Structure 1
């Protein structure tokens, strides 16, 4: 409760002035003439003016409102190093207890954890602004930051804070800390498979000021978990290594720096890059044994891919054909068997035999070259026609050593709809083919099947009565596929609605060329929006839990659940920045959370230098809690323009704001009282003048 006297004039100030001027002139004249009643007339006139000014006693019913003090607690990942979590909690507890003993101060505690995918680093002032968004600026008593000092959104000046109150810093950590970190300066995002790409990086010793020291650090580079390069990198200098991407699609490049002396953390000693491998003009050799309706299907499919360099030959004139036409009059191109199957065979990524039969064009030596080519890592696809069941079958050549299906000599004729087998539902080549979800599948019929005995490999498609239609197998380091019908061209013509021939043949060709996305046994992972998603593809019906190694070195198991035949998934929290390593049996994968060079780990040493300018500009102070968490400063309330920090105390501004609930007003000169005073003083004036 508080009161004061205020004036609420009954007339405007100009009108009161107009009344006062003549009266003052008359009083001045009387004073000059030394009239006996002049003082009493002056008193009467003063009462009149005072009554017109209407003095009023005002009483307010007030309620004091507390000032707001904010404690911003840095819980970013750099604050999880060593004893910092415990020191932070101890400092927070001490300061909170001392603030609780201060009357008239309300405390708001805001925790800033940071976002793993955020490249802006630790944003404590943004967290402070959000916490005080609903607080009037004049009620803010100050802000206390408990942090390692690595704050990446410090305002340029105190005015940018938006309030006039002290900012204090309590630094968690130790003075003179040391750390080693890796900084990637140039990383390939794309690269041609088999061609060299350059990776450059710099190893910094932050204790040496990020400059050359003359010392070296051992750096290991791995691609998809396989060691690709090892080098001793001079500290503080840019180092480059040349790498080769081994396959198309994502190639995960890991860079690791050995631990330095007095290392704070190993998290910033690692980096991961995903470089997409691009094949430079895939070379495919297509040999058609004879002209037939399905020949164009293969040609159109391979020619539609701009990255495929197709070499296509069709055997139009076999050696046994002799019609007497002179050689000089033939316009056919001689089949370059020696050049293709001896000199340049290894230059092809895939060889396709389309309805080819043994006709003397290729000698047994060339077939042996194909077998060796596959066993060294090549790819071979046999699209079989009726000739595969005849004495001219390519199975009666050295190719039998790599083919998974042996012909019985029988051919089945009759319409049927191809079906995906149980193994096919799990295999990435045939899994989830459009139309396969129904029984029977929603695609057109085929009318011919070459009957075989399966010698090995996986049967992915079959006839309704169980005869194999598509088989995949491995031979040495290479891969082999067999199509046991020459009717897939009916799908490309749209017969009875057609079928997914383009998608099926695309997947088949990419599996043969070892694209990682089509491996039947595959482990992959991705970290996005704070979640690590692990994906496992397998031909088995169940799979064990995946073992995950966090960037901090902690290990945990993540169970995987089946989401589709042959596909398992599991998720885990990925709050830590850095590289996650996932292992399951012989398979391994890595995933990176956060940016390539996270700002959060650019420098993890505790420091007061970053916050010092804004702290000094607001009159605050900085203390090192990490040296002794029990020595956190005391709390004092200070008024504006007073010192807000001392050797062992921090000040919070007392703003003394209040809320007015009610106002009571009482006039000092009511009309009757003023009239009595005026008439009384005038009567005294007349009495004095009458004597």
Structure 2
């Protein structure tokens, strides 16, 4: 209940004053003339003016509403270090217990966590705004942050808070913490495959702002999980390492520095860079044994790719061709066999023999060079024709050591549609080729096949009656492919709708070049919208679980489910920022959750510096919780204008807000009463003046 007197004028105030002014003048004149009834006439005027102001006794039925205090609990990843999680929980429990003893304060607890897709670090004040979203500003008692002090969204001033109440901070951690961290200075975003690129970085070791000098730390650099370089570098000074990108597309470069003394965490001892590998030029040697309709297909396909540097020779005049034409009248270019197959063979990335047959153009020693070239990591493609089934077959050369299919001497003719084998449905070269969704495939027919026996390798395409059409094989460190028909040019000409010759030959060339995306056994991973997706491609019918190592080092196994022949996939939620490592047998993959080098781990030492300015500006304070949070401050209620922080206590402002449920009003001067009093005063004035 609340009693008070209020005035509710029956007419505007300026009219009341306008009516009162003549009366006041008359009364002053009466007082000047010493009229005996002047006091009673003054009383009558006063009663009239008072009645016009309508004084009312008001009785309000009120309900006090509690003030609201927010506790923001920092549960970011930097708060998971050492004893910080337990000390944070202990500090929260103590503060909640002390707030429970303060009447009239409603407590709201909100947790600030890292968003894996956010590069802005720990957003404590965004969490505070969420807690106060539906609270009137005049009811806010204050805010308490339980944190390591590493806040990255601190307002510039107290006005930016949007409320007038103290902001306090309880810091979890120790004032003398040490930590070693790695920082990228300059990193390549692109690089030519096989060419050197330079990576610059710096390792700092900090303790209360001091930088040690003269010390070194061991650094290891990995590309796609494979160690490629290591060095000892001086602490606090920029360093650089030179390395080479191993393949086209994204190359994940990891830099790890060894653990330092009294290390807080190893999470910031690692930095990640993704550099895109670009092939300078793919050098291809194409040798056509004779002019034929499919020759133009190969040439057009390779010449249309700007990244391919093609060297093409067609043998137009074999040694057995003798027509008596004088040598001086021939305009043909001599085939530079020695230069190509002896001196510069290793400069080519891919060698293609298109309908080539053994004629004596190439000595047997050069075929041996090709075998050595492949076994040492080169790529060889044999696009065969009828000659492959003849006594002049290249299989009757040293190339037999690397060719996976042996000719039977038979040539099959007749129309058929090439089909993808069960093995081919799992192989990256032929899986999901456009047109293979239907049976038979939706592409044009071929009319000739070289009959072979596939002794090794994978048959990925065949005829409807099971004759091999494409065989892929590994030979030593290199790779070999055999196309057992010379009819692919029909697809390029659009015969019966054509076929996916461009996509097929593109995949084939990239598989021969060992592109990671076209490996038969491949493990990859990616993080998107907080979900880690692991993908496995294999030639097997099943695959074991993948082992996932989180940035914190915690591991778990993830079972993969088959989504297509030879393809397996599974996803899990990522709750930590940083680099996830996935392994499955000898295969490894890495994926970064959130930014590659999170701001959250730029400095993980506990500090009061970030929150101190806003605490001072709002009238709050900063305290260190101490071991097991035993130094967590007490809580007091304070009024506006009073200090809100002491040596071992924090204050929350009492705003004394209330809700009014009912209002009862009683006028003091009703019309009849006022009229009676006015007439009485005038009668007394008349009586006094009549004596």
Q: Same fold (TM over 0.5)?
A: yes
> What is the RMSD of the two structures over their aligned residues, measured on CA atoms?
1.2
For the 8 Å contact 1:270–1:578, the answer to whether it is kept is no
Q: Which moved more, 1:522-531 or 1:453-462?
A: 522-531
Aligned positions of 1:25-424 closer than 5 A: 25-207=25-207, 209=209, 211=211, 213-424=213-424
- 8 A Cα contact 1:198 1:240, kept in partner: yes
Q: Does 1:11 align with 2:22?
A: no
1:467 corresponding residue in structure 2: 467
Q: Which moved more, 1:662-671 or 1:331-340?
A: 662-671
The alpha carbon displacement at 1:249 in A equals: 2.1
Partners of 1:253 and 1:432 lie apart in 2 by: 31
Helix, strand or coil: the match of 2:42? helix
Q: How many residues align?
A: 691
**Cα distance, 1:653 vs structure 2:** 0.5
Does the Cα contact within 8 Å between 1:5 and 1:56 map onto a contact in 2?
Answer: yes
Q: Is the partner of 1:426 in helix, strand or coil? A: coil
Matches within 5 A, 1:421-436: 421-436=421-436
Partner of 2:559: 559
| Offset from partner CA, 1:647-687 (integer Å, 9 cap, x none) | 22111100011122232222211111011111111111222
**Aligned-partner Cα distance in 2 for 1:568–1:11:** 85
Match of 2:518 in 1: 518
Q: Using the alignment, how far apart are the partners of 2:454 and 2:566 within structure 1? A: 22
Distance 1:484 1:251 in 2: 35
**Distance in structure 1 (CA, Å) of the matches to 2:19 and 2:527:** 84
State the partner residue of 2:534. Answer: 534
Match of 1:611 in 2: 611
Stretches of structure 2 that go unaligned for 5 or more consecutive residues are none
SS at match of 1:441: coil
- CA 1:2–1:281 in structure 2 vs 1: closer, same or farther (change >3 Å)? same
Match of 2:492?
Answer: 492
**Deviation larger for 584-593 or 405-414:** 584-593
Partner of 1:267, secondary structure, is coil
Alignment partners' CA distance in 1, 2:690 and 2:548 = 114
Query: Residue 647 of structure 1 aligns with which residue?
Result: 647
Query: Aligned partners of 1:470 and 1:258: how far apart in 2?
Result: 50
**Residue pair 1:84, 1:626 contacting (<8 A) in 2 also:** no
Q: In the alignment, is the contact (CA less than 8 A) between 1:116 and 1:576 conserved in 2?
A: yes
2:576 paired with 1:591: no
Counterpart of 1:115 in 2: which secondary structure? coil
Contact 2:286 2:311 in 1 (8 A): yes
Looking at structure 1, the residues matched to 213 and 350 of structure 2 have their Cα atoms a distance apart, in angstroms, of: 52
1:480-509 per-position Cα deviation (integer Å, ceiling 9, x unaligned): 000000011111111111111110000000
Q: What SS does the corresponding residue of 1:425 show, helix, strand or coil?
A: coil
Question: Take 1:112 and 1:36, find their aligned partners in 2: how far apart are those partners?
Answer: 81
Q: For residue 630 of structure 2, give the secondary structure of its aligned residue in structure 1.
A: helix
- Structure 1: tracts of 5 or more residues without a match: none
Answer with 58-67 or 420-429: which moved more: 58-67
> Structure 1 residue 572: deviation in Å?
2.3
Task: State the Cα distance separating 1:10 from its structure 2 match.
Answer: 2.2
Residues 252-261 or 575-584, more deviating: 575-584
Moved more, 280-289 or 566-575: 566-575
Q: Deviations over 1:532-554 (max 9, x none)?
A: 21111100001100111111111
Is this contact kept in 2: 1:210–1:236, CA < 8 A?
no
**Which whole-Å deviations, capped at 9, do the CAs of 1:207-266 have from their partners, x for residues lacking one?**
163746221111011122222111111111110010011222222211110000000000
How many Å apart are 1:630 and its aligned residue?
3.2
What is the SS of the residue equivalent to 1:442? coil
Instruction: Please state how far the C-alpha of 1:182 moved relative to its aligned partner.
Output: 0.6
- Return the alpha-carbon distance in structure 2 between the equivalents of residues 225 and 34 of structure 1: 111
Distance 1:230 1:11 in 2: 92
Are 2:176 and 2:208, in contact at CA under 8 Å, matched by a contact in 1?
Answer: no
8 A Cα contact 1:426 1:565, kept in partner: yes
Between stretches 312-321 and 39-48, larger displacement belongs to 39-48
Deviations 1:113-166 (A, max 9, x none): 111232111010011112212211111100000000010111111111110000
Larger displacement relative to structure 2 (30-39 or 341-350):
30-39
More deviation in 301-310 or 126-135?
A: 126-135
CA distance in 2, matches of 1:245, 1:34: 113
Q: CA deviation at 1:609?
A: 1.3
Q: Which residue of 1 aligns with 2:625?
A: 625
Q: In the aligned structure 2, how far is the partner of 1:54 from the partner of 1:589?
A: 85
Distance (whole Å) between structure 1 residues aligned to residue 666 and residue 491 of structure 2: 100
Distance 1:444 1:148 in 2: 68
Deviations 1:302-344 (A, max 9, x none): 1111100000111111111111111111111111111111111
* 8 Å CA contact 2:182, 2:271 repeated in 1: yes
Structure-1 residue corresponding to 2:476: 476
In the alignment, the residues of structure 2 paired with residue 677 and residue 358 of structure 1 have an alpha-carbon distance, to the nearest angstrom, of 138
Bigger mean CA offset, 353-362 vs 91-100: 91-100
Corresponding residue SS for 2:222:
strand
**Contact 2:272–2:597 (Cα < 8 Å) also in 1:** no
Displacement of 1:30: 1.9
CA drift of 1:56 comes to 1.6
SS in 1 for 2:268: helix
User: How much has 1:18 moved relative to structure 2?
Assistant: 2.4
Using the TM superposition, give the Cα deviation of residue 33 of structure 1 relative to its aligned residue in structure 2, in angstroms. Answer: 2.2
The alpha carbon displacement at 1:628 in A equals 3.7
The corresponding residue for 2:668 is: 668
Give secondary structure in 1 for the equivalent of 2:399. helix
